[in-house]
């Protein structure tokens, strides 16, 4: 068993919080283990003036971390599961999925207590086509604009008046101690989350059985089962985490209930699916949901997004 591990992480305050969280959990599980962080800048952090969906998706946030693993500069990498592509590159493995926090989206606004209360034409900022599509379907009179940058940067843009409201992940604000900025929680019915939202993933080289043995102590069985079902929907429909695709699963005893959708960015077309099955095979539930989505128009919606 390793005596020291190095964790690769992005440099943002949220990413560092997440890496520190994993570091502390590893040291609790393995007393005497030395853990260091290796903060790195990623292309996703540097490209702030373009849409992620046009530049390769959220996988841009992880390439440099995987390069550090491959070069031996780091042993583990910590990711937000919603940023991790459904298919990992050959030679890499997901060693553990940690317990999930609040998976809901939230509204942050100085002007209104809900999207419904905003005036017609009000500009809502979001980094996600998924959030935009679902909000636009319910509130077509609002305007939506891209919102990039880390959490603090997005809040600063709101405070400068560039947006009437912004939509963020609840988990990120809570982890940064910014829960007081939340104006309202958006229900799962109104804004279904991204696959893996609010869960953390620990990645390593596939051949490092020693590291996988270390990380497995942090695995949360229920979160892992649910996230695996959600990620299978994404994998079956193309694996791009920048797509306007949502999936959220819940464990109910020995079964998993999964909801998923694919939407056009303007919210005009939405395909929905709900599936339930035994927790022993979460990927089968995700695959079934993806098949239902295709039957209900997802293929055509996604084809219209192709460049």
Catalytic residue among 45, 49, 75, 83: 83
Percentage of residues in the chain having pLDDT higher than 90: 89
Q: Is 83 a catalytic residue?
A: yes
CATH number for the domain formed by residue range(s) 1-99+199-219: 3.40.190.10
Backbone angles phi, psi at 240, to 5 degrees: -95, 115
- State yes or no: pLDDT of 52 exceeds 70: no
Give just the sign of the alpha carbon dihedral 160, 171, 95, 225.
negative
CATH number for the domain formed by residue range(s) 220-307: 3.30.160.40
CATH 3.30.160.40 positions along the chain are 220-307
Q: What mean pLDDT is predicted for residues 129-134?
A: 96
CATH 3.40.190.10 positions along the chain are 1-99+199-219, 105-186
Tell me 132's DSSP state: H
The helix/strand/coil state of 248 is strand
- What's the whole-number average pLDDT of the chain? 93
- State yes or no: pLDDT of 44 exceeds 90: no
With tokens 């919603």, the residue in question is 82
The pLDDT score that the predictor gives to residue 1 is 64
The pLDDT score that the predictor gives to residue 242 is 79
- State yes or no: pLDDT of 50 exceeds 60: no
Give just the sign of the alpha carbon dihedral 197, 200, 204, 207.
negative
The pLDDT score that the predictor gives to residue 239 is 72
The pLDDT score that the predictor gives to residue 305 is 87
- State yes or no: pLDDT of 48 exceeds 50: no
Yes or no: domain 105-186 corresponds to CATH 3.40.190.10: yes
The pLDDT score that the predictor gives to residue 61 is 75
Tokens of 262: 């694919």
The pLDDT score that the predictor gives to residue 58 is 52
């Amino acid at each position: 068993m390793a005596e020291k591990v190095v964790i690769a992480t992005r440099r943002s305050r949220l990413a560092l919080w997440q890496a520190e969280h994993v570091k502390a959990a590893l040291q609790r599980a393995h007393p005497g283990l030395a853990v260091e962080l290796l903060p790195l800048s990623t292309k996703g952090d540097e490209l702030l003036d373009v849409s992620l969906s046009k530049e390769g998706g959220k996988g841009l946030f992880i390439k440099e971390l995987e390069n550090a693993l491959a070069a031996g500069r780091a042993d583990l990498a910590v990711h937000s599961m919603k940023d991790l592509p459904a298919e990992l590159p050959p030679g890499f493995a997901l060693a553990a999925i940690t317990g999930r926090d609040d998976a809901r989206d939230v509204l942050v606004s100085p002007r209104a207590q809900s999207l419904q209360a905003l005036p017609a034409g009000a500009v809502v900022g979001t980094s996600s086509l998924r959030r935009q599509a679902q909000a636009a379907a319910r509130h077509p009179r609002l305007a939506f604009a891209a919102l990039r940058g880390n959490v603090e940067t997005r809040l600063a843009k709101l405070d400068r008046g560039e947006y009437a409201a912004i939509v963020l992940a609840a988990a990120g604000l809570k982890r940064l101690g910014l829960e007081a900025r939340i104006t309202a929680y958006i229900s799962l019915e109104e804004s279904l989350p991204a696959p893996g939202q609010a869960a953390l993933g620990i990645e390593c080289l596939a051949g490092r059985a020693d590291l996988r043995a270390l990380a497995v102590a942090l695995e949360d069985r229920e979160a892992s089962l649910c996230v695996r079902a959600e990620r299978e929907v994404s994998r079956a429909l193309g694996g791009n985490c920048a797509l306007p695709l949502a999936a959220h699963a819940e464990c109910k005893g020995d079964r998993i209930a999964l909801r998923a959708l694919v939407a056009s960015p303007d919210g005009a077309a939405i395909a929905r699916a709900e599936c339930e099955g035994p927790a022993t095979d979460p990927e089968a539930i995700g695959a079934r949901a993806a098949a239902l989505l295709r039957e209900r128009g997802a293929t055509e919606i996604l084809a219209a997004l192709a460049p």
